[in-house]
Structure 1
């Protein structure tokens, strides 16, 4: 999608932007409850109504800020970064090379790829069991997981697979896992922002809109943290992943016209 087309989209009416704000509120709520899902759910819902490149551009600021928030506690971040450094390098390389080879997420192919990614992610979330990777394999498997995650990010704008699966296989504590996902998602967000800028897919109007969408995203996160204290997380996760699977199937069938 060209920069001119993205600027034209940014001039949509109040009803469209109210819908976008509602999406970020919902996505922030999901992230507040289970620690992930803001970019995944945002891309899934927004891509139904707008070009994937525009959706990816809108999520940059809310995703970055909420993920940096998730990096706490700062005292343990340096040690975790050393352990996952090669994975982060792989994410950056995979995203930039993927964007250079394939361009910013756009067109029916990007929507189908996003739909397939959502189905796979939801299926794993509902049925999958955490893997266990020996520490001796982290040196080569971490960069590989990062490269694949970066490639998927470049194509779909979603950066949960296979990063989350890999991180959960490291047998981190609950707090370490939340922090590790925050680190991976922050790296992916920065890399995606650089990739979109390099493809002329991040216009000034969309940057301003992305900044505005930070407000509903943070409000949603606060709401999600409140919900997390009152709703069994396993129940919420099942509804969340089931909804993603249905949405992904709809996106694939719509584009393939089956």
Structure 2
């Protein structure tokens, strides 16, 4: 039976609250922020198991609420299907890999994601012919990394941004992808014996703080300049990523 001391319990609740704030502000980032913080105190597979239920709960709402569901599915189904298959494959790799190494890999992904967001390069939108093969390729890569690290953020978010989707399409499309990838991750981890019942039940405690954080993030998004808050969040993600990478590879 997995147990948490009071300090660890406070960090778990705080991690989901902070991650919810980020998701409420930007529409993504709950698993990435949660894993970046929880991996400081727990092995990555345990951190991934803890974040599954809150991620599913928040992404169900993000994926299904809104007018863009059918248009997004028609355009992005190759990306989404490949993400599911990639996640199942990545979960198989997770079961046979060194969790400490994957924690370091997550750190490098966090750093890469933060640098990409802070640098703000303009990525040209792919042409229709390019999108036909790019969507499954990027979806598969995003799924593979999700299965190995629990984070669907990279390269999914930069690619969907490069498609120049309308804002609601972007938010809902990312939500659908994250939802399907998390379901595939849960199935893959359960099949590999990496999803103990006690951790699955423990992850329920993250649902309320995640939704609370989303509500706060939504209010912050309306009350302060979006660019300034995103800069702070991305810088924090980069610092956490550097710590995880240094702990593993330093």
The alignment's TM-score, normalised by the length of structure 1, stands at 0.92
Distance 1:19 1:243 in 2: 16
Q: How do 1:109-120 residues align onto structure 2 when only pairs under 5 Å count?
A: 109-120=101-112
Does 2:49 correspond to 1:57?
yes
From 144, 155, 173, the equivalent of 1:162 is: 155
Distance 2:171 2:66 in 1: 13
Q: Name the counterpart of 1:229.
A: 222
Aligned-partner SS, 1:59: helix
Does 2:90 correspond to 1:87?
no
From 58, 68, 73, the equivalent of 1:66 is: 58
Is the 1:105–1:157 Cα contact (8 Å) retained in structure 2?
no
Q: Name the counterpart of 2:19.
A: 27
Does 2:119 correspond to 1:127?
yes
How many residue pairs get aligned? The number is: 249
Does 2:31 correspond to 1:39?
yes
Moved over 3 A (4+): 72-75
Shift in Å at residue 106 of structure 1? Answer: 5.0
Distance 2:247 2:3 in 1: 26
From 109, 125, 132, the equivalent of 1:139 is: 132
Q: Name the counterpart of 2:232.
A: 239
The alignment's TM-score, normalised by the length of structure 2, stands at 0.94
Shift in Å at residue 205 of structure 1? Answer: 1.1
From 239, 248, 252, the equivalent of 2:245 is: 252
Q: Name the counterpart of 2:5.
A: 13
Deviations 1:23-61 (A, max 9, x none): 101110111111111111000010011010011011111
Distance 2:65 2:122 in 1: 24
Deviations 1:126-179 (A, max 9, x none): 113242111222221111001100111122111111111111111111111111
Aligned-partner SS, 2:223: coil
Is the 2:31–2:51 Cα contact (8 Å) retained in structure 1?
yes
Q: Name the counterpart of 2:209.
A: 216
Distance 2:204 2:190 in 1: 16
Moved more, 42-51 or 199-208: 199-208
Distance 2:83 2:96 in 1: 16
Distance 1:178 1:125 in 2: 16
Distance 2:198 2:98 in 1: 19
Q: Name the counterpart of 2:177.
A: 184
Distance 1:11 1:165 in 2: 37
